[in-house]
Structure 1
Amino acid sequence: MKNKSTITILIVLAFILIFNSVSVFAWTPEEDLSATSAILMDTTRGQVLYEKGADAINPPSIMCKLMAALITIEKSQLNSMVTVSKNTAKINGSSLNLVVGNLYSVEDLLYGIILSQGNDAAIALAEYVGNGSIDKFVGYMNDKAKELNLTDTFFVNPTGLHDDKQFTSARDIAKLVKFAISNPTFNSLFGSKGVAWINGKNSSILTNQNKLFWSYSGVDGGKVGSTPQQGTTSVTTATRDNRRLIAVVFDETEEKALSQTAQLFDYGFSNFFTGVLVSKNTPLRSITVEDYKVDLISKIDVLYTYPKGDSFIKNISFDINKKLSLPISTDTIAGVLTYTLNDDTVVEVNLYPDKAVTAPEDYRTKIKSIFKENQDLSIIVFILLTIELIIVIYKLIILIIKVLKRTKT
């Protein structure tokens, strides 16, 4: 019995040693991501968690629709009505079969370009916002691209129909989406799974073509698009544990693009965390101003994204405000704490005094302060002193007159 027990224990120990010696397989995108271009970005501050050919130039099919939607939202009202022109109805490519002369709300047309390809909806919105000029609308699109520093993007049309002169990159798409989802209207449209669609006498349901809405937990935004020149592009956002990620994938087929988007999300949510880089109201630096020690704090919690088991901080520097002088209020920026992360993200944190610091008072300041604090009493004292002074002067004058009379006699 003892021998059997010993053998059993040894076998168990052997299994434990074997399993402990085998490393757990963890998927990394570099191993089998076939996408021609892809990026995974955190929305907190735009940190890139993974990229492959993110700056490669690609046709901007999806990018045109996303930018057209953003420009329309910024420059019009959702309940405004748009009349469909002949130019709109004859546009090539995927369309919603808009009826010439019919009225459609801006909101409905926006759903048409976000949930589906809707080239005719894009043209209708461009003509409406551009006051009849599609070129003017495209100008708005390019101006916005410059404003957002989308250096690898240029637009020629709002539809995304092929044109050698227009282009974009996965990185620029992610940067646009990060900005655009901060707009509640865009975020709502981008996160819609479907909407009722009425086209004249016909009615149907417009369903978001990004199938990850129904197959990946946490997906809260997305769009897909396909062209013969670029294959499929998927743009998707997903949120878990209050962390929202953006994935952009260019690949040959829709199946590949969406499956690799899911892989990227798994990688991002499993291997990265969002935490506090700087806690608010915690003293971070101390400085001396005119012999007074001042503790500096951040007024907000500053968040950042970092890999599991790594602080991810490469460098910390501090720049003091050299123009500081007393008095200092709690709203005075006393310095800037700069964190450089391992991915070269720079996070600047404004630091403020934890309490107001006033200059030391001299005797004149103290007297003024006393008078100010006891204003009513000071007025009474001043009046009494004035009366007393008048009486003294009066008596002095009387005395002088008497002396002068004596000297005459």
Structure 2
Amino acid sequence: MLLLVCVAWLPAEAEAENAAEDEVSLHSEAAVLIDAESGQVLFEKNGDEQMYPASITKIATGLMALEKADLDEKVTVSEEAADVEGTSVYLVEDEVMPLKQLVEGMLINSGNDAGTAIAEHISGSEQAFSEEMTEYVMKKTGIEDTNFTNPHGLFSENHYSTAEDMAEITRVAMQNDTFRDIVSTKEKAWKGEGWETELRNHHQLLWDYDGANGVKNGYVTEAGYTLVTSAERDDRELIAVVMKADSDSYAYEDTTKLLDAGFEEFDEHILKEADRYQSPNQSIYTLRNDRSFLYRGDTDFDFQVNDKGKLTVSDDQGKDIFTTYLSKERGKSGTDTKKRAEAAPKADSRDMDESLWKTWSKYSSVVADTIYYHLQYMMNINNF
């Protein structure tokens, strides 16, 4: 019977519905908090609004460089790269430097000159690189509301992204071990023709927030202060994005609020590999391995799957908190039920649907009849 009432899940790309904006009060104009493993959105404020990203653009540039080029390649710095305005690692024209060192200078010290040198080396020009990078991250992450016109984030009207898109780009980038290692580096020795120093990571929460392990801050006048932060505690990793804060202190304050809420106010609910669901057309859907989602506070869940295998998890207030697509189980229908059993907290037998009780009643009566006729048979033998 328990097998008839389990829920289901497929390890497909996780997708989440928006959390209420009033759960956390923020200064930033846009913000998103996601679970790094599943991509589940735990909180959002104007998460899908297009905004100028400033230097958090370099997250995408770093990902592109790490996955599309050999880090041991030697890069010759052009005059254009050496003269790029803004934050710099003081590259010199015709200087030759390993690609990996340029990526480090760009992500740790936010070197715009390093970003341009990377773009020119990989694609020939900033424009060609930016077009390729936009297409690349769209295909790799599934985002739709981002367009890059440069590799470093200096202002351009057509250079934009959203908090949700930047969170997803970061989630994918953090799956690259080299990227993860670079953005978590607090200090790094730097030796170039124009500058010899020790770089200090511009992301202050690497020092100030327990568990912080990246990733990038940014600022230009039109964008305000932007900040993307990853942090990990007790086997849970979260990514927070804030955009268009009026000051860096507001950006850090908002990020701390989001991460604190994610670590302290959310619990994990695990969907088991054996869990199953039935859709309205009687199809049965299953998962291939254990998966989980996060939920806030003491709540019950409702699990619904449609005829296309889309599973939606709602809380007891009717708010959708998690969705994904399931895998159809071949040759199964009808007698299985979609209700919760092991999948939902506090589920009991009253949650099972009428079809289950009919099935139970049918087999209960068969058992009872079998016992009855067996007793009758034994009595007849004794009388004979």
The change in CA–CA distance for 1:63 and 1:222 in structure 2 (over 3 A counts) is closer
Contact 1:69-1:114 within 8 A present in 2 as well:
yes
**What is the number of equivalent residue pairs in this alignment?**
303
Contact 1:71-1:140 within 8 A present in 2 as well:
no
2:136 corresponds to 1:136: no
2:277 corresponds to 1:266: no
1:247-301 CA distance string (max 9 Å, x none) = 1112111111011101111111111122312x12x36369xxxxxxxx9964411
Q: Find 1:169's aligned residue among 159, 162, 170.
A: 162
- Which runs of structure 2 are paired with 1:7-406 in the superposition (5 Å)? 30=23, 32-130=25-123, 132-147=124-139, 148-200=141-193, 202-250=195-243, 251-277=245-271, 279-280=272-273, 282=274, 284=276, 298-317=287-306, 338-341=311-314, 342-343=319-320, 345-350=322-327
| Aligned mates of 1:53, 1:112 — CA distance in 2 | 31
CA deviation after TM superposition for structure 1 residue 211, in Å: 0.7
Give 3-state SS (helix, strand or coil) of 1:247's partner.
Answer: strand
CA deviation after TM superposition for structure 1 residue 30, in Å: 4.5
Contact 1:44-1:303 within 8 A present in 2 as well:
no
CA deviation after TM superposition for structure 1 residue 351, in Å: 6.4
Equivalent residue number for residue 362 of structure 1: none
Higher RCO (Cα < 8 Å, 6 or more apart): 2
The change in CA–CA distance for 1:201 and 1:138 in structure 2 (over 3 A counts) is closer
1:13-45 CA distance string (max 9 Å, x none) = xxxxxxxxxxxxxxx965642111111111122
Identify which range, 159-168 or 257-266, moves more after superposition. Answer: 159-168
| Aligned mates of 2:197, 2:261 — CA distance in 1 | 37
CA deviation after TM superposition for structure 1 residue 344, in Å: 5.5
| Aligned mates of 2:158, 2:311 — CA distance in 1 | 40
**Superposed CA RMSD:** 2.8
| Aligned mates of 1:30, 1:283 — CA distance in 2 | 31
| Aligned mates of 2:152, 2:47 — CA distance in 1 | 22
Q: TM-score, normalized by length of structure 1?
A: 0.68
Give 3-state SS (helix, strand or coil) of 1:112's partner.
Answer: helix
Contact 2:265-2:296 within 8 A present in 1 as well:
yes
| Aligned mates of 1:60, 1:263 — CA distance in 2 | 21
Contact 1:29-1:267 within 8 A present in 2 as well:
no
Q: Which runs of 4+ in 1 moved over 6 A?
A: none
| Aligned mates of 1:312, 1:222 — CA distance in 2 | 34
Paired AA for residue 143 in structure 1: E
Q: Unaligned stretches of 5+ in structure 2?
A: 1-20, 279-283, 331-384
| Aligned mates of 2:261, 2:275 — CA distance in 1 | 35
Give 3-state SS (helix, strand or coil) of 1:345's partner.
Answer: strand
Contact 1:220-1:238 within 8 A present in 2 as well:
yes
* Bigger Rg, which one: 1
CA deviation after TM superposition for structure 1 residue 164, in Å: 1.3
Q: TM-score, normalized by length of structure 2?
A: 0.72
Give 3-state SS (helix, strand or coil) of 2:207's partner.
Answer: helix
CA deviation after TM superposition for structure 1 residue 139, in Å: 1.5
